[in-house]
Chains A and B, each alone.
Chain A
Amino acid sequence: MRNKSFIAVVLIVLLPVAGLGWLGVRLLGSERQALEHRTRTLVEAQLLIIDDSIKAYFDAQRSQLLRDIKGLPRDTTALRTYAQSKRLVRQVFVMDARGERLHPPVNAALTEAEQRFLVRSADIWRSRDILYQGAQPPAQEPDLRKTDAMRSDGWYVWHWATETDLIFWQRDAERLIGIELEPARVKADIIGLLPATASNEEHLGPARIQLLDERGALAYQWGELNGGSDATARLLAQRPLSHPLGSWKLAYYAPAANGSAVSGKLGLASAVSALALAIAGLAWYLHREHTRTARLAMQRVNFVNQVSHELKIPLTNIRMYAELLAQQLDGSEERPRRYLDIIVAESQRLSRLILNVLNFGRMQREAVRLHRQAGVIDAAVASALEAFRPALEGKGVQISFTRGAPANAEFDRDALEQILNNLFSNVEKYGSSGARLDVITEQSADHTVIRVRDYGAGIPLRERERVFEAFFRLNSKLSDGVTGTGIGLTIARELARLHGGELRLLESESGAHFEVTLRTAGARA
């Protein structure tokens, strides 16, 4: 009973909460997906803009270098001065149409820087074709996708030691001029054109963009992410740079849990938990009410138990002395004898009530033990019926007893008597208007059935099971003027079940029809 109510409470709370939570999570999930998609699109657009600015930088350098080359004198000193004075230029070289070196000069002393350049650019001098291959722009730039023979300028990228080295070359029919850029300065320029980290992150929000070089090493980063620590960063998007820095890439990191997702999840969680709290509160209230009722009932039972105990002894004395007194009266004293009969009958009724109460209390606390003894069911039924006969006949009830259990059987006489007492007492209290009581017994090898039927007001269909609940009383109309504890049928059913049987209310056209089944093993005909 207790367990059941607890499980019910848990289910009442958990099911709606779980259902709502699931719905919420799904909704939030799809919302987050949409948001994620939107964010990703925005982020990708942002990376594209950044890439464009870097591309624009290289385009500007290209124009500048083309202008430089146009005005560049061919003599060694001028070329050297150019290389030494241009911020972005590390070295200049010139080839003739056959790929032979014109500058750095072949027949003159070389500076140390020129010698170093020749070492690192040895591949180019072996085959200048690599310049054109390295300068292959990505396919998505159709205007640049000319054949090698057609292109007159381009970028060549190669990786020397830990740096990305860039060469811009331009050629005509007679010569090819190459300009090697200063890698560190290119990096610094790119860092210069990329945003710094603002103190108040308004445009970027909590995010970090990283520029990674061809080895995947961090070249530059900006954006404040979780106050600088990026332990919880989550890669949202990345994008390779355009030619010529195609081996570099941009990576966009956002906080592990996106801000809006966090608030969404938080909102959902708080809504669900508020709901859970409300339902739990309700459930707790109901549970408390329920246990309070049960506790009150229990207290009532305990109280009645105690009172009944106290009543038992004086009642026994009253009965005993009343019976003694009856024996001493002679036949002439009709009136006192009738009074005494009433006293005895009423005290018997009182003992039954007390016994009921005590039994009920015992059953609540502990298992009741049966004391089976050999006996005849019919005899026990008759004896119980006999005790009620005066009261029933006093209310005009005609009793019919059909005996069908004459065999010797093992049963608890007290238990059977109590079951029957309760049934008969109900007939007396509620069914006397039918003016008829049928008691039928039947017996099989190991079962005995006793049917008790009255023809009174009966019990409505929907109350059929509830009459067996403790402290249940039918509506006041029926119970008007009738006293009782409301535990009789409960005890009767418990006892019947204890006895391996059942107490059922059978369907009937009028009145109440109870059927008691008892397992009466060892019955012999």
Chain B
Amino acid sequence: MAMHDSRRRRGGIGAWAYLFSTLLALSFATTANADQGTQQVNLNVALGSPVVLAGAKQTAVVKVALTGAQIDSERQRTPVNVAIVLDRSGSMAGAKIEHAKQAAAIAIDRLDANDVAAIVTYDDVVKVIMPATRVADKSAFKRAIARIQPGGSTALFAGVAKGAKEVEKFLQRERVNRVILLSDGLANVGPSSPDELGQLGASLAKDGISVTTIGLGLGYNEDLMARLAGMSDGSHAFVEHPQELARIFDAEFGDVLSVVAQEVRINIRCADGIKPVRVLGREADIAGQNVSMSMNQLYGAQEKFVLLEVEVPPGRPGARLTVAEVDVAYFNTTTKQSDRVAGQVALSYSDSQQSVTQATDKKVMADAVEQVANSISKEAIKLKDAGKLMEARKKLEEGASYLEQNAQQYQVPRLRGLSGQFKKDSAELDDERQWNRQRKSMVKRQYSTEKQQKF
């Protein structure tokens, strides 16, 4: 917000200066790795404001965007190693368990003999009803799925642990290693705090295992589920009605089957004089000039990005400054080799507000605005949780008008739509009966925004 406000106060500038500095900036925003033939990942490093006003300290946003290549055919697909972990607690009885079984069976249908899958269920205890096996005999999987019966409590942690154990049996960097967790209730047997599940997720991510969490109905703990997915770089979904499960499983498997790169390590080295402030949305380690973070995988034809807010020192008009060098290492699942891609970004100083405005990368700014709005939405939930309804509402309205202003400024209709959503969230905030549903929906949207999740 601060960076954005500071920018809006600047005055006009000449078109020439704008053009010049834009070209300059673009020349620095490069994708350096030459070998485009096997290039699985396209790196694009950009600044929200490639041209800044001279003479003042200010903040800027660096966007590091990674886009996976489109996979051409089914043959190229990365084999998967997945454990489907299904909640079979008593509350799943009825339509929920039936749709879950159906969705799992459909998911199995999308796999083939190169893939490995396991089916784990849990209630008070964990049952590995199908240990990690190559999906050669689909009917064996379906028979195991068909036998699932609803039972007692919710040993969620143990379910995930056992699911992860199955995935570990075939843990290979050439595979998409994933646990897909479906739960409709609160973890009430074994470890149950969002922190612990988050830690487990983070640790699994180090092995290259992501956990996708699907919350079903209105009884689950969305913080825990989002945390577990977030720390392991999986997906998170809120499924209010069981009949939507098949669609969500389909979307999830669509992603899983399109993975093109794994073990993605992003290193951003800020140039001297540039101070990294924070990373918007994602978890990152900031140590001195170095910012590092990981993504577990990149999906084909999907953009994932990191937004880094930096402090830029005052400069003379016309001066150029390298802001950051970005180095991305990843494992190419097609060539089965480690690859690197690097890039850097620079900005220039100008006296002209107009050139600053015209140089502005609206797309980057819109992404940044969206992330900032997202954190406002998160704060609103915190306020509501603390019983501060009015403050929460005020927060959301602030977010709505912030989005509205920026939608206008950067001419991004998406932000306007988001503003409408914020207003709606604010209006519905005092409906206690709907709060549970609304909270889950908000957490899910926040999650999707942070992780650029497509479903």
Contacts and interface: CB of A to CB of B under 8 A. Distances in A.
A229 interface: yes
Nearest to B286: A111
Contact of A229 (B152, B198, B286): B152
Nearest to A193: B165
Contacts of A183: 196, 199
B129 A184 contact: no
Contacts of A112: 285-286
B127 interface: yes
A199 B165 CA distance: 18
Interface string B194-224: 0011111011101100000000000000000
Contact of B164 (A188, A196, A220, A221): A188
B264 interface: no
Contacts of A182: 199-200, 202-203
Interface stretch (B153-161, B301-309, B310-318, B376-384): B153-161
Contact of A187 (B157, B165, B287, B294): B157
Tell me the interface secondary structure of chain B in the complex: mixed
Contacts of B196: 162-163, 183-184, 187
Interface string B24-66: 0000000000000000000000000000000000000000000
B285 A84 contact: yes
B178 to A, nearest CB: 16
Contacts of A85: 206
Contact of A228 (B151, B197, B198): B151
A112 B206 CA distance: 18
B128 interface: yes
A124 to B, nearest CB: 20
Contacts of A122: none
A193 B166 CA distance: 11
B287 A80 contact: yes
Nearest to A188: B161
Contacts, number: 113
A184 B200 contact: yes
A108 B287 CA distance: 8
Tell me the interface secondary structure of chain A in the complex: mixed
Interface residues of B, number: 40
A163 B199 CA distance: 11
Contacts of A222: 125-126
A112 to B, nearest CB: 7
A196 B128 CA distance: 7
Nearest to A223: B125
Interface in B227-252: none
Interface string A368-386: 0000000000000000000
A108 B126 CA distance: 46
Given A108-B288, A109-B288, A112-B285, A197 B125 contact: yes
B190 interface: yes
B199 A185 contact: yes
A205 to B, nearest CB: 14
A196 B127 contact: yes
A183 B196 CA distance: 8
Interface string B168-196: 10000000000000000000011101001
A191 interface: yes
Given A108-B288, A111-B285, A222-B125, A192 B199 contact: no
A109 B129 CA distance: 49
B153 to A, nearest CB: 9
A110 interface: yes
A113 interface: yes
Interface in B288-335: 288, 292, 294
A95 interface: no
Nearest to A185: B203
A352 B315 CA distance: 152
B101 interface: no
A224 interface: yes
A51 to B, nearest CB: 19
Given A88-B203, A185-B199, A196 B126 contact: yes
Interface string A50-68: 0000000000000000000
A45 interface: no
Contacts of A185: 199-200, 203-204
Contact of A184 (B126, B197, B286, B288): B197
B123 interface: yes
B393 interface: no
B241 to A, nearest CB: 28
Given A86-B206, A222-B126, A188 B157 contact: yes
A198 interface: yes
A191 B200 CA distance: 12
A183 B127 CA distance: 23
Interface string B125-144: 11111000000000000000
A87 B206 contact: yes
B129 A199 contact: yes
Contacts of A229: 152
B189 A218 contact: yes
B124 interface: yes
A223 B196 CA distance: 24
Given A182-B203, A228-B152, 17 more contacts: A80-B285, A108-B287, A109-B286, A109-B287, A110-B287, A112-B286, A113-B285, A184-B197, A184-B203, A187-B161, A187-B191, A187-B200, A188-B157, A191-B161, A198-B127, A220-B155, A222-B126
Shortest beta-carbon contacts, A-B, top 3: A192-B165, A188-B161, A184-B199
18 contacts: A84-B285, A84-B292, A85-B206, A87-B203, A90-B199, A111-B287, A182-B199, A182-B200, A187-B157, A187-B196, A188-B165, A188-B200, A199-B127, A199-B129, A219-B191, A220-B158, A221-B155, A221-B158
